[in-house]
């Protein structure tokens, strides 16, 4: 979805792909969309990767590319046909995220390192789709920040249950159950529970890049 980034190249923060992606794949995809200038290397936060002639001897394991794609893909070659991928960091602090990357930490550290005072930041707009995007979404601020979640994907489904109205309803239901003796233990366990904090940022759904572009345009034109 290149359009919003072409239109507004003054974002405060862009957090790139996480999880199974790596710097080699992302760099080539951005180059294919001619967006390398929008996402310079120091603004890409993912698992570092490099082409090597032999597989590494330590985990995480390398991925051996297909000979044809390695020879023509711009990254690999006949002599460097192994893509060695490392962890972005060793996540020991966040149970929401995988071991290799906590986007919430990346987002928070990226904002703080650039601006110092989070209260003075302009609006942050975060676009995501997968479960790994829930953590950074929950780091966003009330009222001013916006999170775009891909409709019917894990991120939007999870965050829809963490809207303040839903969590308030769930809390009220739980309180009602607590104050009035449940008829059965099974009935009591059916009440929804939330171990996550409510989502503070505004949640908007998107189906394609045009939805995100329209949302960004609307927010920036206010």
C-alpha angle 131-134-136 in degrees, rounded to nearest 5: 130
Dist. CA 160–CA 203, nearest whole Å: 8
The least distance separating Zn ion from the CB of residue 121, rounded to whole angstroms, comes to 20
Specify the 3-state DSSP secondary structure of 213: helix
Q: Which is nearer to Zn ion, 127 or 213 (CB)?
A: 127
Q: Which is nearer to Zn ion, 1 or 94 (CB)?
A: 94
Q: Which is nearer to Zn ion, 24 or 133 (CB)?
A: 133
Q: Which is nearer to Zn ion, 95 or 143 (CB)?
A: 95
Specify the 3-state DSSP secondary structure of 32: helix
CA-closest candidate to residue 126, choices 159, 153, 148, 156: 148
Q: Which is nearer to Zn ion, 96 or 115 (CB)?
A: 96
The least distance separating Zn ion from the CB of residue 64, rounded to whole angstroms, comes to 30
Per-residue three-class SS string for 133-154: HHHHHHHCCCCCCEEEEECCCH
Give the binding site for Zn ion (CB under 5 A).
94, 96-97, 102, 104, 135
Q: Which two tokens stand for residue 175?
A: 């309180």
The least distance separating Zn ion from the CB of residue 104, rounded to whole angstroms, comes to 4
First-to-last C-alpha distance (Å) of the chain = 22
Q: Which is nearer to Zn ion, 81 or 133 (CB)?
A: 133
The least distance separating Zn ion from the CB of residue 162, rounded to whole angstroms, comes to 14
Tell whether omega for the bond before 174 is within 30 degrees of 0, i.e. cis.
no
Residue with tokens 């979404």: 137
The least distance separating Zn ion from the CB of residue 189, rounded to whole angstroms, comes to 28
Dist. CA 199–CA 155, nearest whole Å: 12
The least distance separating Zn ion from the CB of residue 204, rounded to whole angstroms, comes to 21
């Amino acid at each position: 979805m290149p359009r919003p980034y072409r239109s507004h190249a003054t974002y405060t923060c862009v957090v790139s792909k996480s999880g199974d992606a790596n710097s080699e794949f992302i760099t080539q995809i951005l180059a294919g969309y001619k967006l390398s200038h929008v996402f310079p290397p120091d603004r890409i936060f993912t698992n570092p990767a490099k082409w090597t002639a032999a597989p590494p001897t330590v985990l995480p394991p390398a991925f051996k590319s297909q000979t044809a794609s390695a020879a023509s893909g711009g990254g690999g070659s006949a002599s460097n046909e192994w893509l060695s991928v490392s962890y972005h960091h060793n996540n020991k602090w966040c149970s929401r995220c995988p071991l290799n990357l906590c986007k919430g930490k990346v987002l928070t550290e990226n904002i703080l390192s650039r601006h110092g005072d989070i209260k003075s930041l302009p609006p942050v707009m975060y676009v995501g789709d997968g479960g790994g995007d829930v953590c950074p979404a929950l780091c966003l601020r009330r009222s001013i920040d916006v999170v775009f979640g891909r409709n019917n994907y894990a991120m939007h489904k999870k965050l829809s249950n963490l809207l303040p109205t839903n969590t308030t309803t769930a809390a009220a239901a739980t309180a009602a159950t607590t104050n009035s003796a449940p008829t059965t233990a099974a009935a009591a366990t059916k009440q929804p529970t939330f171990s996550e904090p409510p989502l503070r940022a505004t949640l908007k759904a998107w189906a394609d890049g045009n939805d995100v572009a329209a949302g960004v345009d609307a927010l920036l034109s206010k």
